[in-house]
Structure 1
Amino acid sequence: MATSRNDIASDTTAIISLACEWGLYGVSVLLYGATVRRLTSSRAPRVGRRMIALATVFFALSTAHAIANLIRLNEGFVNKRDSSFPNGSGPTAFFSDASQTYFVAINDIYSIQTLLADAVVVYRCYVVWQTVKAILFPVTLWLGLLSTVIGCLYQLHGPNQPGKEIFSISDWVNAFFAMSLFTNLISTSLLAFKIWTVNKEASKYRTTPGVLGPILRVIIDSGILYSVTLILTLITFISRSNSQFIFLDLLMPVMAISFYLVIIRISMARRDCSNSRDVIESKPPSRIDCQLRPVEVNIPQLTEHDVVETTDEVNGTALKSGHTPDPL
Structure 2
Amino acid sequence: MGIPLDKAEFLALFLGTFFYGVFLTLYWFMLFVILKKSGIQRQILLPVATLLLCISTAHLIIDFVRALEAFVFKVDALGADAYYSDLTSPLYIASTALCVTQTILADGVVVWRCYMLYNKSLLVAIPGCIVLLANGATGCYVIWSLSRPLSPVASVCIVIFDSLTLFNSVTSTILISWRIYRTRRFLPEGLAAFLPVLVVVVESGTLYATSMLMLLLTFLIGSNGQYVMLAVITPIVGITFCLIILQVHFHVGGNPPTEQRTEARGITSLIMQET
TM-score (norm 2): 0.91
The structure with the largest strand share of the pair is 1
- Judge conservation of contact 1:184–1:223 (CA < 8 Å) in 2: yes
Which residue is 1:120 aligned to? 109
- Judge conservation of contact 1:174–1:234 (CA < 8 Å) in 2: yes
- Once residues 183 and 72 of structure 1 are traced to their aligned partners in structure 2, the CA distance between those partners, rounded to angstroms, is 31
- Once residues 305 and 170 of structure 1 are traced to their aligned partners in structure 2, the CA distance between those partners, rounded to angstroms, is 37
**Identical positions, percent:** 25
Unaligned runs of 5+ in 1: 1-5, 85-89, 159-163, 282-293, 310-328
Q: How does 1:1-328 map to 2 (within 5 A)?
A: 6-42=1-37, 44=38, 47-84=41-78, 90-130=79-119, 131-158=121-148, 164=149, 169-203=154-188, 206=189, 211-272=193-254, 275-278=255-258, 281=259, 296-297=262-263, 299=265, 302=268, 306-307=272-273
Deviation, 1:201, is 2.3
In 2 relative to 1, CA 295–241 (structure 1 residues): closer, same or farther, beyond 3 Å? closer
Paired letter, 1:28: F
- Once residues 77 and 30 of structure 2 are traced to their aligned partners in structure 1, the CA distance between those partners, rounded to angstroms, is 44
- Could you say what secondary structure the match of 2:216 adopts? helix
- Once residues 194 and 245 of structure 1 are traced to their aligned partners in structure 2, the CA distance between those partners, rounded to angstroms, is 36
- Once residues 194 and 121 of structure 1 are traced to their aligned partners in structure 2, the CA distance between those partners, rounded to angstroms, is 14
Q: Which fold has the larger relative contact order, with Cα–Cα distance below 8 Å and residues 6 or more apart in sequence?
A: 2
- Once residues 108 and 273 of structure 2 are traced to their aligned partners in structure 1, the CA distance between those partners, rounded to angstroms, is 17
Deviation, 1:83, is 3.1
Unaligned runs of 5+ in 2: none
Paired letter, 1:269: H
Deviation, 1:179, is 0.8
In 2 relative to 1, CA 237–305 (structure 1 residues): closer, same or farther, beyond 3 Å? closer
Paired letter, 1:133: L
Deviation, 1:80, is 1.7
Structure with bigger gyration radius: 1
- Once residues 45 and 219 of structure 2 are traced to their aligned partners in structure 1, the CA distance between those partners, rounded to angstroms, is 34
Deviation, 1:212, is 2.2
Kindly provide the CA deviation profile for residues 271-295 of structure 1, in whole angstroms up to 9, marking residues without a partner as x.
15xx3332xx5xxxxxxxxxxxx89
- Once residues 222 and 229 of structure 1 are traced to their aligned partners in structure 2, the CA distance between those partners, rounded to angstroms, is 11
- Once residues 195 and 308 of structure 1 are traced to their aligned partners in structure 2, the CA distance between those partners, rounded to angstroms, is 15
- Once residues 78 and 93 of structure 1 are traced to their aligned partners in structure 2, the CA distance between those partners, rounded to angstroms, is 13
In 2 relative to 1, CA 202–168 (structure 1 residues): closer, same or farther, beyond 3 Å? same
- Could you say what secondary structure the match of 2:256 adopts? helix
The structure with the largest helix share of the pair is 2
In 2 relative to 1, CA 25–166 (structure 1 residues): closer, same or farther, beyond 3 Å? farther
User: What is the number of equivalent residue pairs in this alignment?
Assistant: 274
- Once residues 27 and 47 of structure 1 are traced to their aligned partners in structure 2, the CA distance between those partners, rounded to angstroms, is 22
- Could you say what secondary structure the match of 2:2 adopts? coil
In 2 relative to 1, CA 213–250 (structure 1 residues): closer, same or farther, beyond 3 Å? same
Detail structure 1 runs of 4+ shifted over 3 Å in the superposition. 164-168, 208-211, 300-305
